Amino acid sequence: MRKNSCFHVGALALVVLLVSGPTGVARAQDMMRHVDLQSPEFTQSELTRAELEQKLAQLKQGETLDLSAKALNGLDLSGVDLRRTKLQSARLNNSNLKGAKLDGVVLDQAWALMADFSDASLEGASLFMTQFVGAKLDGANFKDARVAANMTRASLKGASFEGANLSADMTNQSMGLMRGVFSSANLAGASFKGANLARVLMEYADLKGANLSGADLSGSELAGADFSGAKVAGANFKDADVNSAQLTGLIGLEKALNFDNAKNLERAFRD
pTM for this entry: 0.88
**24 vs 77 pLDDT, higher one:** 77
**pLDDT at 174 (0 to 100):** 52
Q: Which residues contact 90 (CB under 8 A, 6 or more apart)?
A: 67, 68, 69, 70, 71, 72, 107, 110, 111
pLDDT in tens, 40-55: 999 999 999 999 999 9
**pLDDT at 176 (0 to 100):** 63
- Residue 95 · residue 112 · CB < 8 Å: yes
pLDDT in tens, 218-248: 999 999 999 999 999 999 999 999 999 999 9
Phi-psi region of 79 (alpha: psi -120 to 50; beta: other; left: phi over 0): left
**pLDDT at 171 (0 to 100):** 78
Helices and strands (H, E) in the chain, number of each type: 4, 6
pLDDT in tens, 156-188: 999 999 999 999 988 765 556 899 999 999 999
